[in-house]
Amino acid sequence: MHPSARISAAIEILGDLEIRRRPASDALKDWGLSHRFAGSKDRAGIASLVYDALRRRACARYIMKSETPRAEMIGALVFARDMTNEEIESHFSGVGHAPAPLSDEERANLFARDLSGAPDWVLGDYPEWLEPHFARAFGADAVAEGRGLATRAPLDLRVNALKATRPEMLAELAHLDAQTCRFAPLGLRIAQGSAGRGAALDAEPAYARGMVEVQDEGSQIAAALCRAAPGEKALDLCAGGGGKTLALAASMDNQGELFATDSDGRRLTPIFPRLERSGARNVTVRAPRGKADPVADLVGQCDLVAIDAPCTGVGTWRRNPDAKWRTRPGALEQRQKAQDEVLARGARYVKPGGRLAYVTCSPLCEENEDRLAAFLVDHADFYCENAADSLALAGIEGLDAAASSHGPGLRLTPARHDVDGFYVALLHRKN
């Protein structure tokens, strides 16, 4: 397909999203099934255009003075692709499968590219209802942090210490220009292509043999801060697909016991082949059955309980840009209730002297520091670990400035650390 035809296809898919209000991945899949002539490179290119438009939707609509999918696409070519006015006009030629030529109004708005007077939520490309929450979390940096969340994410890998070392994997993946991550001691980073096309990792023997796993550097740091140690009894209470479970198992060097569970057993499905590939042998997966607690026998027994709490997912917008426009204000209140419940539940499994790790992929104070403050009111037998101590004990350098200014814990963001947005706090149960 000609690049202009890809732009037309992306506009069509954006229109479908506007009407049907569904995940972008579903719309892209349906488009591919109904347009089988499009090859894998075409589908990847179209997906990249769609996601770029979703990343910069607010700015695009503002300069184009329109909320149509076509306006969003024109704006995406400005803000995400850095195209000149002339390049954009050449793609909107109306020739063949190219979009129709720009109208006089569209051309005037494109050439003006006027963001003067735009509010912070437009400049930062995040939903208007989140503006007070961003202002509270980031203060004067709200726009910069929003723009950081509107960038493309790189491909981060975690070297599986059960099977390989980072130097070995640097050499193995040198043809992908793999580089070491800034902070995660076992992290590797592979940059995305100019159009957002990533490496074909499934074809890499190192991945197939479980020597590396896909895991954002921020998630790797969160797992490292848990300090899972050989011989401990640990519980991953919100294991999902198993990303942090695998990291914890490697930290334990297959010694001790690690239990993985999730409130939704369906989310655990990917964990089984990943565990087999990784060589982790100390993990027991406990799927829920009815209303019975699948880990009831672990109450008061665990050295470590890791909670990757359900949240709004604001910190993952680089990878899921459609999610920021589909999330509604009521979701924040619902997530806070779920976070309080999972924190209270997780505390039950921690033995005296044990640790409770609270992790979210959200930068919002309401989901992080506020939740810990509420938890500590009702759990006087717990206290929060100092952020500097957490970093020092985990052997992570260069992140002292990540300590939260709103309370305990650490905040990681794309703008400051070039990772997905994460919050991590360690609590201890008194002896």
To the question of whether residue 370 is assigned a binding role by annotation, the answer is: no
CATH number at residue 190: 3.30.70.1170
pLDDT score, position 345: 97
Dihedrals phi, psi of 2, to nearest 5 degrees: -70, 145
In a shared domain, residues 392 and 415 = yes
| DSSP type of residue 235 | E
In a shared domain, residues 312 and 187 = no
In a shared domain, residues 296 and 176 = no
**Whether residue 195 has pLDDT greater than 80:** no
In a shared domain, residues 175 and 246 = no
In this structure, are residues 309 and 359 in contact, taking their beta carbons and an 8 Å threshold?
yes
Residue at 121 is within a domain: no
In a shared domain, residues 167 and 104 = no
In a shared domain, residues 307 and 403 = yes
CA dist., res. 158 & res. 180, Å (int): 10
- Element housing 234 (H / E): strand 233-236
Residue at 125 is within a domain: no
Summarised one tens digit per residue, pLDDT across range 137-181 is: 999 999 999 999 999 999 999 999 999 999 999 999 999 999 999
Which residue stretches of 35-160 are H helix? 40-55, 57-64, 69-79, 85-91, 104-112, 120-123, 131-138, 142-149
pLDDT grade, residue 198 (50/70/90)? low
In a shared domain, residues 239 and 334 = yes
pLDDT grade, residue 21 (50/70/90)? confident
Summarised one tens digit per residue, pLDDT across range 202-241 is: 889 999 999 999 999 999 999 999 999 999 999 999 999 9
In a shared domain, residues 188 and 250 = no
Residue at 252 is within a domain: yes
In a shared domain, residues 83 and 189 = no
Q: Decide the pairing of beta strands 350-360 and 302-308.
A: parallel
| Last residue within a domain, chosen from 182, 214, 246 | 214
CA dist., res. 373 & res. 152, Å (int): 33
To the question of whether residue 30 is assigned a binding role by annotation, the answer is: no
Dihedrals phi, psi of 338, to nearest 5 degrees: -65, -35
| Last residue within a domain, chosen from 89, 115, 141 | 115
CATH number at residue 240: 3.40.50.150
Residue at 129 is within a domain: no
Overall average pLDDT of the 268-289 stretch: 95
Summarised one tens digit per residue, pLDDT across range 387-418 is: 999 999 999 999 999 999 999 999 999 999 99
In a shared domain, residues 192 and 232 = no
pLDDT score, position 202: 85
CA dist., res. 316 & res. 362, Å (int): 8
Residue at 150 is within a domain: no
Residue at 374 is within a domain: yes
pLDDT score, position 373: 97
What's the whole-model pTM score?
Answer: 0.94
User: DSSP string covering 376-393, please?
Assistant: HHH-TTEEEPPHHHHHHH
| Last residue within a domain, chosen from 86, 115, 144 | 115
Residue at 126 is within a domain: no
In a shared domain, residues 341 and 409 = yes
Summarised one tens digit per residue, pLDDT across range 44-92 is: 999 999 999 999 999 999 999 999 999 999 999 999 999 999 999 999 9
Report the percentage of the chain scoring pLDDT > 70. 99
CA dist., res. 331 & res. 129, Å (int): 12
CATH number at residue 25: 1.10.940
User: How many structural domains are present in the chain?
Assistant: 3
In a shared domain, residues 302 and 423 = yes
Residue at 143 is within a domain: no
Which residue type sits at 67?
E
Q: What is the mean pLDDT of the chain?
A: 95
Residues designated catalytic: 361
Task: For residue 194, give its domain range.
Answer: 155-214
C-alpha distance from residue 30 to each of 8, 18, 33, 153, 398 (Å): 16, 15, 5, 24, 44
In this structure, are residues 294 and 261 in contact, taking their beta carbons and an 8 Å threshold?
yes
